[in-house]
Structure 1
Amino acid sequence: MATRGRKKRVPTQTNTLHRYLPQNIRENYSFCATLLNDLLDDVIISPENVVCPILSEIINEVVKHKKHDMGSVSEKTLLEWRNKHPWLVIESGVMKCKVCTDMKSKLKLITVWADEGSPNFQYSGITRHTASAEHNNAVIACEQDKQLQTISSQEVIADVSDVCELVDDVDKKLFNTVYYAAKMEIPSSTINSLLDLQTKNGLNIKYTNLSPDTVSEIQTSIEHVLREGLVNDIKSSPVFAMMLDESTDLTVDKRLSICVRYIKAGEPVTNMLVNVHLEDGTAHTIMNCVAHEFERHGIDLANCTSLATDGAAVMLGKHKGVGQQLVSKYSPFCIQTHCMAHRLNLACTDSIKKNDFMIKFREKFSSLYSFISGSSNRTLALKKIQEILEEPEIKIKEPYSIRWLGLKNAVSAVFESFGSVLATLSKFAAEKNSVAKGLLKYFSSYKVALAIAFILDVHNELAVLSCELQKKNLLFSEIKPVMDATVSKLSSMEATDGKCLTSMKTDIEITDDGAFFSGEKLKYHDNMGSEFATVRKDYIKRMKKNISDRFRKTDSDHYNDFCTLFEPQQINISTQEECNEALESLSTFYGYEKTVKVIDGNLIEGLQETVRVVQPLVDPAKVQEEWPRFQGMVKGAYADMPTNKLCKRVILLHNDIIPNIAKLAAIALCLQPTSVECERTFSTQNRLKCKQRASLGNEALNTLMTICMLGPDISKYDPSPAVIYWLRQKRRRKPRLQSAYKPRAKKQKTC
């Protein structure tokens, strides 16, 4: 019991290392005690929960970089250790295990012997590591790999038919089922049901009740084989192009799509390389991610000759954009391109800006969509009226700005069922609905009716151009003809009515009582014809100007040079001087070595500058020497040949006599004018990672996307290479997979 008046003794607190660290840590880390005590003397007394984490971080950094003094261990002793333990590796003052290092990524080892190494030069440490479970597992896995490689070299040969003989037919059926589910974007949870269905139908399917991990491993094996084939094709191509774009998925995680275009059998091929998670959307992060992925796959970025992006500042910024960093650090011969399809969409969007009629036109279509689709009664009323008027049952669509020519779909839906739309609005306006009254007043105008048909005619022509620009393997020589054709067609629409406008004028009856469409009266007066002509002329003028501004000639100088040299008709009509100028331009750009510089590190640990000289892609002197031969071929036997077939013949048949021209032909085929393939990958991504599969991880999503984008049709798929790769990864307990899975019984709790 405390005595009244007695004072409690409070110990004096001092800033010493012993106050913050327990006894065992003080003894183990005594070498840094002096340094830390001096540091603590200069700081104010702080709570332990604040200082302890700081001290732990300092000690860990010191120990991490501490090198053991090997003077106490003789060379003879080290040699004896190596002879007794062949896996022992001594480098930079630490000891490492070669077996654990090789198996680190495969087995996900966390031992220090597989990472930074052990500085403890004592035989007891080697003994403990030899007896550890991680080391023993690594040794077993290494032996299995050696045995499988031996079997592979003796039994597995290149002929696919011989490989099929080595793979069990039951395994093929299993892999075909998993591949079908992934290819058709079916959730992995249904694979066991598909296997049971095949068994019920009489097929010999021994596998049943597979665990999610087993299914994931099979999908990874399929993805590995597909990606390995793609990487090998890219490496065998003389040059390649790259497409980059970023987006967010359902869970608002930022993702980067990397697609490539390369030469295979003399023809351009476009495919997705990888879809990866991004920490942020800065140019530095994107560039590091791109460099890491290409380095991981062993692809030299110096062979990248074209980059296509959506034109965002982070991608094509003049100073620190991804394209600029790519050229200065890795790919000095790369040409940066703002996606042509994105440019066209921006040109259409810009044609609406600062145009009062078009701004209101778009707003009214958005209001009409909200009014009709926002109520089931109004949607049903529109459907019934469409049946009565025998018009197509089309839903009103929203004019999305993020879709290619999103206004076209909305206008087309209203045009196809214009009478039904007017009748529906009239019905609800009679019920004193103020929104319906406002929309009816706008859409029942004669000028608006003509504008709907006219804008649909314009956007139908733009849609043809957009579809051409969205072709998967679009060639550089195909851009200018379709652009000129579209601009010429738009010019003719200033005075000539299109198909939709002609149909609209035919369906509108103008009498002394006014104008009528399908019985609905339109607001009409004599000046509306001239007002519509003004709107028509202004819209065409704006559209042509925006297309001209977005597709500047200065952005396609190299494209024009390649057209001059590799388009047969252009070669035949061009003068010798024009051909020489184009040849000199390309020879100067691709024919001289360039220097790239990469700076790694940070200001704290220090910066390291790496300078690399990239060799030229062609020899300028030999290009000039080979040109007359190629020109003779084009003006002779190849005069009527398309550009793609001409380049293919040069690459496959004449590479021995005109190798530099063949290299330029490969570069020409790899010119990437659009980044549409990235948009296709995002569409696949959003279909896979939907609300029902929102928990898909980054690796699983990338695996499924690879199978969907790269995999052939199920009828042409051969599962044998994937089965062999799956069996090589580890010892498979196939009997367990081929029987009903029975989880272990839970241990009964004892009191």
Structure 2
Amino acid sequence: MQDAIADSLRDSVTNKISASPCLSILIDESTDISVTKKLLIYTRSLTSSFDVETNFLANVQIPDGKANTLLGAVKKTLHDRGIPMSKIIAVGSDGAAVMTGRKNGFVALLNKESAVPVVSVHCIAHRLALVTSQAAEKVPYLKKFQGTLSDVFYFFKKSSVRRERLYALEERLQYLKEDNGPALVQFESQCPRGSREFDGVEISSEAGIEKQFSNIRAAFLQNLMSELECRFPAVATDVVTCMSVLSLRGLSFLSEDARKHWGTEQLQNIIDFYSLGDKAFVDAEETLREWSMCKDMVHQQHYPCTSICQLWQILTSRHPDTFPNLCKIAQVAVLLPLQTATVERGFSVQNLIKRSHRNRLSSQRLDTLMQLALGPPVREVSLAPAVTKWRRDKKRKLFC
């Protein structure tokens, strides 16, 4: 019955993807409890009302993490579901070299076979994590501090005696959690300046420790700002950032002259990306003409510009033939996978299902159970086909 219901859920997701004009995929790899390499695949697709849906597609076992292997697994999964590879317009990943490498990365290999340029999106959450880790890595004291924290963790991790001593220390320091004042003020009231003892424990400090701390903090903040500017530049010309212009936010506050030139530079970057050689996705001249008309229409009709999905839902439903090229670009814009947190949550579900006492769970059974856990709610899917399939698979005494 599990297999029959999972197949119904798969069919439901496949039908949604097939009805979408294009799709983006979110992929990441990991190793499960049985040291088996897994590839998780999610899709983002459009409904007829221009709403975006993110769906779990498959959990696939792979022999290694090479780009060719990943591409082969994705192609096979989509082929088995009857979904053409030509629908893929963007790939979201954690930014690993195997995904984003310019020559032999997953997206590069996919672009060589795709009829449409595929956008590679480095997850924002992963980029932000790199900002903080790289900023701390450049400060020797913080690097040493991270090592000390790691050593402390492993010191207490598997020793019940040490953990009990740690809990006892925590009990003695409970007053630091009270709400009647900041912890630092309370500590200083118990251990005033010049004191060398606190609760029977001798306290030692080096000369100039406060200045040293101030210098470390300043160095970390400077590195943090540099990393932020590097990974999140204020003026960016990449196609993902330029897509934000399609929301037309702030257009109503511009003068007529300013409105004529607004967003043209960003749109030109998008056109350059999508009108290269035999992979032309849009007509360059027509797209610029549509852009001028679109700005005037949105301004005159007072269409809402607070949400890119809401705006283009209106434009595609009311003016589908007026902006054919812009509608294509808008479909890509709303489907861009800016973060891959969904995939990380998928791995959490995988590890909840395949645990140490279920480490012999086969890849097929794991995928089935994940379909049930992550697929569409059962109440939204007709179970009649599942029951029919369940009855047809084998002769059952219940129906004899």
Mapped contact 2:8–2:381 kept (Cα < 8 A): no
In structure 1, which of residues 620, 632, 646 is the aligned counterpart of residue 311 of structure 2?
646
User: Could you say which residue in structure 2 is the equivalent of 1:523?
Assistant: 204
User: Could you say which residue in structure 2 is the equivalent of 1:257?
Assistant: 40
Distance 2:287 2:316 in 1: 15
Mapped contact 2:41–2:57 kept (Cα < 8 A): yes
Gaps of 5+ in 2: none
Are 1:577 and 2:242 matched, yes or no? no
1:570 shift after superposition: 6.0
**1:508 partner SS:** helix
CA 1:552–1:329: 2 relative to 1, 3 Å: farther
Question: Which amino acid in the other structure matches residue 355 of structure 2?
Answer: C
Identity %: 27
What do the CA deviations read for 1:431-481 (whole angstroms, capped 9, x no partner)? xxxxxxxxxxxxxxxxxxxxxxxxxxxxxxxxxxxxxxxxxxxxxxxxxxx
Are 1:721 and 2:376 matched, yes or no? no
User: Could you say which residue in structure 2 is the equivalent of 1:655?
Assistant: 320
Mapped contact 2:91–2:121 kept (Cα < 8 A): yes
Distance 1:267 1:350 in 2: 37
Q: Which has the higher contact order (CA 8 A, sep 6+)?
A: 2
Distance 1:299 1:363 in 2: 47
Mapped contact 1:308–1:337 kept (Cα < 8 A): yes
**1:188-587, aligned counterparts within 5 Å?**
218-264=1-47, 265-387=49-171, 389-390=173-174, 503-509=182-188, 511-514=192-195, 522-524=203-205, 527-552=208-233, 557-569=238-250, 572=253, 576-587=260-271
1:259 shift after superposition: 1.3
In structure 2, which of residues 367, 385, 389 is the aligned counterpart of residue 702 of structure 1?
367
Mapped contact 1:568–1:638 kept (Cα < 8 A): no
Question: Which amino acid in the other structure matches residue 681 of structure 1?
Answer: G
Distance 1:706 1:662 in 2: 32
Mapped contact 1:651–1:663 kept (Cα < 8 A): no
CA 1:315–1:303: 2 relative to 1, 3 Å: same
What do the CA deviations read for 1:559-609 (whole angstroms, capped 9, x no partner)? 2322223242268556533422333333343356735xxxxxxxxxxxxxx
Question: Which amino acid in the other structure matches residue 261 of structure 2?
Answer: E
1:697 shift after superposition: 0.7
TM-score (norm 1): 0.48
1:276 shift after superposition: 0.6
Further displaced range: 679-688 or 379-388: 379-388
Distance 1:329 1:520 in 2: 68
Question: Which amino acid in the other structure matches residue 121 of structure 2?
Answer: T
In structure 1, which of residues 703, 706, 711 is the aligned counterpart of residue 376 of structure 2?
711
1:375 shift after superposition: 2.5
Question: Which amino acid in the other structure matches residue 551 of structure 1?
Answer: F
Question: Which amino acid in the other structure matches residue 291 of structure 1?
Answer: K
Mapped contact 2:24–2:337 kept (Cα < 8 A): yes
1:554 shift after superposition: 8.3
Question: Which amino acid in the other structure matches residue 721 of structure 1?
Answer: P
1:310 shift after superposition: 1.8
User: Could you say which residue in structure 1 is the equivalent of 2:345?
Assistant: 680
User: Could you say which residue in structure 2 is the equivalent of 1:669?
Assistant: 334
What do the CA deviations read for 1:278-325 (whole angstroms, capped 9, x no partner)? 122222222122112112222122221111122222222221111111
CA 1:331–1:709: 2 relative to 1, 3 Å: farther
Distance 1:228 1:717 in 2: 10
Distance 1:641 1:578 in 2: 17
Question: Which amino acid in the other structure matches residue 358 of structure 1?
Answer: L
CA 1:382–1:716: 2 relative to 1, 3 Å: farther
CA 1:513–1:237: 2 relative to 1, 3 Å: same
CA 1:717–1:327: 2 relative to 1, 3 Å: closer
Mapped contact 1:507–1:517 kept (Cα < 8 A): no
Distance 1:251 1:505 in 2: 46
Distance 2:349 2:202 in 1: 46
Distance 1:318 1:592 in 2: 17
Distance 1:631 1:388 in 2: 65
Mapped contact 2:304–2:311 kept (Cα < 8 A): no
User: Could you say which residue in structure 1 is the equivalent of 2:357?
Assistant: 692
Gaps of 5+ in 1: 1-217, 392-415, 420-501, 596-615, 737-751
In structure 2, which of residues 280, 287, 295 is the aligned counterpart of residue 631 of structure 1?
295
Mapped contact 1:508–1:515 kept (Cα < 8 A): no
Question: Which amino acid in the other structure matches residue 345 of structure 1?
Answer: A
**1:514 partner SS:** coil
What do the CA deviations read for 1:603-652 (whole angstroms, capped 9, x no partner)? xxxxxxxxxxxxx5444444334333421343241255333322332234
**1:638 partner SS:** coil
Question: Which amino acid in the other structure matches residue 386 of structure 1?
Answer: E
Question: Which amino acid in the other structure matches residue 345 of structure 2?
Answer: R
1:675 shift after superposition: 2.5
What do the CA deviations read for 1:302-351 (whole angstroms, capped 9, x no partner)? 22111112222222222111111100112532111222222222222212
Distance 2:276 2:294 in 1: 22
Distance 1:332 1:721 in 2: 36
Mapped contact 2:138–2:223 kept (Cα < 8 A): no
